[in-house]
C-alpha cells in the first residue's frame, strides 16, 4: 500500500522559506527541487520509490514539503525510508549550493 514520509524543503541545519510577509513561494519550490536532487544523489532509490513536492494549506497561505512516497508492504522500501530518515542531511552538499547560487545568478530568486 502506498504511504509517504514528509520532510521540510531544506536540510535540517539550513534556513528555509518561512510563511509570512517575506515568504517567497518560488524559492520554496526551488529549495524543494534542490533537496530532492541532493537526496537522490545521496540515497539511490529502489524501484517504485519517488519524491514529490506537496503544497500544504496554512492560515497564512501555502507552504511546501518534500514527500518520499513508497510501498509500505515492500521491505526494501521500508529500509530505504529508515535509511533516509536516519541519515537525512544537515547541510546542503556542494552541488546543491552551486544550484542555488545558479538560481540567484539567473535572477530566479
Cell numbers 518534500 label which residue?
Answer: 66
State if pTM tops 0.85.
yes
When the pLDDT of each residue in the chain is averaged and rounded to a whole number, the result is 89
**DSSP conformational letter for 10:** S
Handedness of CA 66, 27, 57, 90 (dihedral sign): positive
Question: CA 20, 97, 12: angle at the middle one, nearest 5?
Answer: 55
The grid coordinates of residue 10 equal 531544506
Check residue 108 and give its pLDDT: 60
**pLDDT for res 9:** 92
Q: Packing angle between helix 25-42 and helix 94-105, nearest 10 degrees? A: 150
Q: Looking up cell 541532493, which residue turns up? A: 38
- What are the sequence ranges of the domains in the chain? 2-104
Per-residue pLDDT tens over the stretch 18-50:
777 776 777 888 999 999 999 999 999 999 999
**Mean pLDDT in residue range 70-74:** 96
Name the CA radius of gyration of the chain, rounded: 15
Side-chain-side CA neighbours of residue 75 (13 Å): 0
- Pairing mode of beta strands 2-7, 50-58: unpaired
pLDDT surpassing 80 at residue 7: yes
Cell of 54: 506537496
Amino acid at each position: 500500500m502506498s504511504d509517504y514520509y514528509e520532510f521540510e524543503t531544506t536540510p535540517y541545519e539550513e534556513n528555509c522559506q518561512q510563511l509570512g510577509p517575506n515568504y517567497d513561494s518560488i524559492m520554496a519550490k526551488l529549495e524543494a527541487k534542490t533537496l530532492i536532487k541532493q537526496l537522490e544523489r545521496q540515497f539511490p532509490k529502489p524501484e517504485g520509490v519517488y519524491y514529490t513536492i506537496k503544497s500544504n494549506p496554512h492560515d497564512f497561505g501555502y507552504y511546501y514539503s518534500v514527500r518520499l512516497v513508497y510501498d509500505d508492504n515492500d521491505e526494501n522500501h521500508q529500509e530505504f525510508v529508515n535509511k533516509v530518515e536516519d541519515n537525512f542531511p544537515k547541510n546542503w552538499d556542494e552541488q546543491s549550493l552551486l544550484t542555488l547560487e545558479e538560481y540567484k545568478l539567473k535572477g530566479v530568486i
